[in-house]
């Protein structure tokens, strides 16, 4: 557990080792308990662009940055808070890589030593409702991925669609900082326990390249992650 002081809108902060030079931090947040002094209490700078944001947006940003700082203190051992770029992506301190996610009152950050990891992706999702999953599957899944849904219905189909969506979000967070190129749901496909690029992003990341992914499920949803070794 962390000894970081938390404002009343955040609780249950914990850090967990996820591999060599790799740490996951996560916490829960309550937007309804957010107070104006929360950023000051947590020692997190408030970006100018968030000054007039609704409490939910400020609470989730604060929770993500608190998690990031807690993780960075362990891997790679920096007392720092990532900034925010013009593209709204986190800007990690020199020597570190990472990713942040937040969803429905839960936030997490995965950080690592840049000497061991080139990129990291992390995404938390609540399980989609079956009706919503059915509406979104054509947008989120490639035709071969949709073929794997044959025989599935209800919650089983919804879980598969949620998993695919989350892993693709993690892939984007891992590769966008490395390539500077945006890509979309039809540009990658899950194949077993790996996700494969269907379009080239750079000379280092070509169509056909693939990465393994990890998933942790619970009754409310799932956490997915992707690690790119140095």
Q: At what angle do helices 130-140 and 154-179 cross, to 10 degrees?
A: 40
Residues in contact with 116: Cβ distance below 8 Å, sequence separation at least 6, in sequence order: 20, 21, 22, 229, 230
Kindly report the pTM of this predicted structure.
0.96
Residue pLDDT, tens place only, 2-40: 456 799 999 999 999 999 999 999 999 999 999 999 999
Establish if 2 belongs to a structural domain: no
pLDDT of residue 1: 42
Query: In sequence order, what are the beta bridge partners of 96?
Result: 113
What is the SS3 assignment for 216? strand
- Residue ranges for the known binding site are 57, 65, 101-102, 123, 125, 169, 173
Q: Are residues 110 and 149 in the same domain?
A: no
Note whether 83 and 163 are same-domain residues. Answer: no
> 154 in a domain, yes or no?
yes
47, 80, 115 — which closes off a domain?
115
What's 162's domain CATH number?
Answer: 3.90.470
Check whether residue 14 and residue 88 sit in a common domain: yes
Q: What is the extent of the structural domain holding 46?
A: 10-115
Number of domains in the chain: 2
The average pLDDT across 53-73 equals 98
Q: Is the pLDDT of residue 200 over 50?
A: yes
Local structure of residue 5 (DSSP, 8 states): -
Residues 89 and 141 in one domain: no
- CA–CA dist 191, 84 (Å, integer): 33
pLDDT tens for each residue of 69-85: 999 999 999 999 999 99
Annotated binding site for CoA: 57, 65, 101-102, 123, 169, 173
Q: Which residues make up each annotated binding site for Mg(2+)?
A: 123, 125
Tell me the residue length of the chain: 230
**Per-residue model confidence (pLDDT) at position 5:** 78
| pLDDT in the model for residue 95 | 98
Antiparallel, parallel or unpaired: β 106-113 and 188-191 = unpaired
Rounded to whole angstroms, the Cα distance separating 79 from 70 reads: 8
């Amino acid at each position: 557990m962390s000894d970081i002081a938390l404002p009343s809108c955040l609780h249950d902060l914990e850090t967990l080792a996820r591999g060599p030079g790799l740490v996951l931090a996560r916490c829960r947040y309550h937007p309804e308990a957010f107070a104006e002094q929360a950023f000051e209490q947590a020692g997190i700078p408030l970006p100018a662009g968030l000054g007039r944001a609704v409490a939910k947006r400020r609470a989730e940003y604060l929770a993500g940055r608190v998690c990031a700082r807690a993780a960075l203190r362990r891997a790679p051992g920096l007392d720092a808070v990532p900034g925010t770029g013009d593209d709204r992506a986190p800007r990690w301190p020199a020597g570190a890589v990472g990713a942040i996610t937040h969803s429905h009152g839960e936030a997490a950050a995965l950080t690592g030593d840049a000497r061991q990891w080139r990129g990291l992706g992390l995404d938390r999702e609540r399980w989609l409702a079956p009706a919503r999953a059915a509406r979104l599957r054509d947008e989120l899944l490639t035709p071969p991925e949709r073929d794997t849904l044959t025989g599935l219905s209800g919650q089983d189909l919804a879980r598969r669609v949620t998993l695919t969506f989350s892993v693709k979000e993690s892939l984007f967070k891992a590769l966008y900082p490395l390539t500077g190129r945006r890509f979309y749901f039809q540009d990658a496909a899950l194949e077993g326990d790996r996700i494969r690029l269907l379009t080239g992003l750079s000379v280092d990341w070509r169509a056909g390249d693939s990465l393994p992914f990890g998933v942790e499920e619970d009754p409310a949803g799932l956490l997915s992650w992707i690690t790119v070794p140095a």
